[in-house]
Chain A
């Protein structure tokens, strides 16, 4: 990305203060941040959730969400003060010179209109181009963004297009007026790695081609390393540090930044190989499963040994979660069986005994939906204690306190709280405590860290590792994040389209040669090296990455 010769900044934010309304008072969200963005430059904004990244990104457009106000400072865009500009002036800027790409493209497109109709809206409205010209331009942009069938895809409705393609169509839409500034708000967070890499390379390409300035908001460090020229780190509404991408990656100054960088280095020591002839705790034996008539699992088999972690990896739709549903008995398999400690389990959970149900527990991806919002933490954990172990009164309370201590939360403080009064990481810990309360031997962890920030996720992984050592639990770890696999797994099972394509100990998995699909998955995980994407593109060519390559397999 070349620096434009013009050195007057495009966006100049000075000492901005933003408050959010919560429960009758205004609480500060952003506490005086400065931001300068030159033309054609990409600035990465990173931080954990609640750090104020998105709020700051929106403020750069002179916009705030409902219940949020800008209480001080200034925002200048190309010399225009956005905070005092009239509605007419802002209307003229937004969409035309400043564009926004939201996190969830699926939720941001209007499902009732075709993509191209939504694409041409801004240019026509701003009087930049006629409907026809703008539609043609849209098709050209689709081609540049490497969307399949650029001539036709615009005439589809949003639900007829995949998530990665929608995200690119949205980028094209933002580009439709050739804005000077685009704000990307976590555009790839909801996507699979193989899809993400395609979107990333498309965005990077088009931003460079039109010399557009961009603010790229994300919590994924490796992603921001690929995209940004400069990185700004935010923590609780305050700036931690700002520097060039390379400087920031190699020599971060602040402790917080260093801790962010260190997260990806957590790795458990390898366990000795399983002795031949031991009975696995859980065996998935030639399982086929179907939803209605549609078969989603084909002959899936793998073992999980006592005290070990098996990571099941694959993209969404590969059958990872379905396998878990077969093990728990929610989806009885149509062929094959599940063995627990060598003995077959009844396929339907309703036929299983209380003790069989107790042995297998689950931790869910979305802690928000996994905890009953109307029950206090104490009630949530106490229920399985009472239900399985029959404890009541003081004994129950003691057990719950012990469990809360085990997940490193203070019982006195958290016992009476509701889930809505907890942070994401704390909720996930409560989910773990509920699973532990049943005193199980086997826990299924379904994407437990993918909704969390990296620092918090690392804490959860360390907690799970510690609990495994203390209680000799076995985990089945469903994930699409290979960094998590590297951190915690003993063995890895790779799934694609309902088949197990590869399985073995972790060390073997990360060493070539692998199955072509495993190789693709591994190579699609962004690394902290800012040249990684460029090198990968140079090495493989633009047609051999991401979904395009998956389809070729």
Chain B
């Protein structure tokens, strides 16, 4: 603790010196001349943090397994970061040189985070669509003659098997195949749910904004009531009811789940589309259309919707993440996507126990983290893209 405080104080001295040196070296160039102390401190701090990271990374690559294991996940994170950054950069380069004039222009003004997001989403979509071709085994296939709980990494000396690079789960299914099929199930269902939520919430929201009056009041109060109930608990409750009904009606429980999550999430979409719609209906062009005698459908879908696409699209990405996480949580709790269908949330739950080995055998702890990482990566990717789209639609420059 004392060492930490001492380091912070010495940074202050270093920052002072750094700024002076900068001023002297560049002959009082405007950048150094007008630099505040806080900025100089930030530079020094960043350099120190970076130095620590390099040191920790080198520890992770140390030949002594005891030391290396401690920093194993940091090493993976740093390597992953670098690989993804290079990948995103190459992807952007590709986008800048291939495609139509419009997309080339889009890629030129794109930050690296957004190109990373787009690249990851494309990869996920590709994997989800071609899951049955990409996966070496079936998602529910218990492979004969193969042990359960094979360690990832494929290192025979440590108990792996090169045929199963990510190992097998507790009943001997190939984890790689299940991850790939998980993309299809989890992402596909999340997408369908989000689309339904938007059709429902969006049209209701625009209707409330355009008509106002008692309809607006009624819809808004219903939405208030629905939003007042914690959404995960509400979903759990409804799913429990659905699990009784589903076999009786002969409808797969997954359909109920899609509908339930869609309705719960459409309340958020309703709020947004109503607010956006309200700021659009006061425009003169809406008044002109009303005075022309246009019907409600034309007003909502031809005049209002095109002007609301930017915020709605941004919300779509964000909502998609939430839906996705809700499904994963429900599956984790056991009422979501039902086995033997592969799902990332269920995988995290089933393999979760292995996390306890992280201290001394990091490879053993990876299987649940792979599924969790797949969820996290997609959530981050979608949010990067959404951020970028929000930035563009708000007209902010630089």
Chain A positions within 8 Å of B34 at CB level? 86-88
CA A344 to CA B105, docked complex, whole Å? 57
A330 lies within 8 A of B307 (CB):
no
B291 lies within 8 A of A330 (CB):
yes
Chain A positions within 8 Å of B109 at CB level? 24
B306 lies within 8 A of A349 (CB):
no
- Asked whether A407 is an interface residue with its Cβ less than 8 Å from the other chain, the reply is no
Chain B positions within 8 Å of A364 at CB level? 284, 288
A66 lies within 8 A of B285 (CB):
no
Q: Encode contact with B along A73-112: 1 for CB under 8 Å, 0 otherwise.
A: 0000000000010111000000000000000000000000
Please give me the residue from chain B that is nearest to A435 by CB atom: B288
Given A328-B291, A438-B292, A67:B397 Cβ within 8 A: yes
Please give me the residue from chain B that is nearest to A349 by CB atom: B291
* Chain B, 283-328, CB within 8 A of any chain A CB: 283-285, 287-288, 290-294, 303, 306-307, 309
Contact of B283 among A84, A87, A369, A384 (CB under 8 A): A369
Chain B positions within 8 Å of A230 at CB level? none
CA A21 to CA B30, docked complex, whole Å? 22
Interface locus among A217-225, A372-380, A480-488: A372-380
Given A87-B34, A370-B284, A362:B307 Cβ within 8 A: no
Chain B positions within 8 Å of A86 at CB level? 30, 33-34
CA A360 to CA B285, docked complex, whole Å? 16
Please give me the residue from chain A that is nearest to B28 by CB atom: A86
CA A384 to CA B398, docked complex, whole Å? 40
Q: Encode contact with A along B88-105: 1 for CB under 8 Å, 0 otherwise.
A: 000000000000000001
B291 lies within 8 A of A434 (CB):
no
Given A24-B108, A357-B293, A434:B288 Cβ within 8 A: yes
Please give me the residue from chain B that is nearest to A360 by CB atom: B291
Contact of A362 among B288, B309, B397 (CB under 8 A): B288
- Asked whether A155 is an interface residue with its Cβ less than 8 Å from the other chain, the reply is no
CA A375 to CA B288, docked complex, whole Å? 14
Chain A positions within 8 Å of B292 at CB level? 357, 383-384, 387-388, 438
Q: Encode contact with A along B154-167: 1 for CB under 8 Å, 0 otherwise.
A: 00000000000000
Q: Encode contact with A along B3-47: 1 for CB under 8 Å, 0 otherwise.
A: 000000000000000000000000000100110000000000000
Chain A positions within 8 Å of B105 at CB level? 24
B397 lies within 8 A of A372 (CB):
no
CA A362 to CA B292, docked complex, whole Å? 10
Chain B positions within 8 Å of A330 at CB level? 287, 290-291
Chain B positions within 8 Å of A371 at CB level? 285
**Interface residues in B, total, Cβ within 8 A:** 22
A369 lies within 8 A of B284 (CB):
yes
A134 to chain B, nearest CB (A): 27
Please give me the residue from chain B that is nearest to A85 by CB atom: B30
- Asked whether A542 is an interface residue with its Cβ less than 8 Å from the other chain, the reply is no
Chain B positions within 8 Å of A84 at CB level? 30
B293 lies within 8 A of A354 (CB):
yes
A387 lies within 8 A of B307 (CB):
no
- Asked whether A200 is an interface residue with its Cβ less than 8 Å from the other chain, the reply is no
Given A24-B108, A67-B397, A364-B284, A373:B293 Cβ within 8 A: no
- Asked whether A260 is an interface residue with its Cβ less than 8 Å from the other chain, the reply is no
Chain A positions within 8 Å of B290 at CB level? 330, 349
- Asked whether A366 is an interface residue with its Cβ less than 8 Å from the other chain, the reply is yes
Chain A positions within 8 Å of B398 at CB level? 66-67
Chain A positions within 8 Å of B287 at CB level? 330, 362
B167 to chain A, nearest CB (A): 49
A373 lies within 8 A of B307 (CB):
yes
Among B108, B288, B309, find the residue whose CB has the most chain A CB atoms closer than 10 A. Answer: B288
B247 to chain A, nearest CB (A): 48
Please give me the residue from chain A that is nearest to B293 by CB atom: A357
A40 to chain B, nearest CB (A): 32
CA A354 to CA B284, docked complex, whole Å? 20
Chain B positions within 8 Å of A375 at CB level? 306
Chain A positions within 8 Å of B33 at CB level? 86-87
CA A388 to CA B287, docked complex, whole Å? 17
Chain A positions within 8 Å of B283 at CB level? 369-370
CA A360 to CA B398, docked complex, whole Å? 46
Please give me the residue from chain A that is nearest to B290 by CB atom: A349
Q: Encode contact with B along A337-378: 1 for CB under 8 Å, 0 otherwise.
A: 000000000000100101001001110101001111111000
* Chain A, 488-506, CB within 8 A of any chain B CB: none
Contact of A357 among B108, B291, B307, B309 (CB under 8 A): B291
B294 lies within 8 A of A387 (CB):
yes
CA A362 to CA B307, docked complex, whole Å? 22
Contact of B307 among A67, A366, A374 (CB under 8 A): A374
CA A330 to CA B293, docked complex, whole Å? 12
CA A375 to CA B305, docked complex, whole Å? 12
CA A356 to CA B290, docked complex, whole Å? 13
* Chain A, 17-72, CB within 8 A of any chain B CB: 21, 24, 66-67
A444 to chain B, nearest CB (A): 10
Chain B positions within 8 Å of A88 at CB level? 34
Q: Encode contact with A along B239-256: 1 for CB under 8 Å, 0 otherwise.
A: 000000000000000000
Given A357-B291, A357-B293, A372:B108 Cβ within 8 A: no
CA A438 to CA B292, docked complex, whole Å? 9
Given A67-B398, A86-B30, A374:B291 Cβ within 8 A: no
CA A374 to CA B312, docked complex, whole Å? 15
CA A277 to CA B397, docked complex, whole Å? 62
25 contacts between A and B (CB under 8 A): A24-B105, A24-B109, A67-B397, A84-B30, A86-B33, A86-B34, A328-B291, A329-B291, A330-B290, A349-B291, A349-B293, A362-B288, A366-B284, A370-B284, A370-B288, A371-B285, A372-B285, A372-B306, A372-B307, A373-B307, A374-B307, A374-B309, A383-B292, A387-B293, A388-B292
* Contacts A86-B33, A357-B293, A372-B307 known; 18 new A-B pairs at CB < 8 A: A24-B105, A24-B108, A24-B109, A66-B398, A67-B397, A67-B398, A86-B30, A328-B291, A330-B290, A349-B290, A352-B293, A361-B291, A366-B284, A369-B283, A370-B284, A370-B285, A387-B292, A387-B293
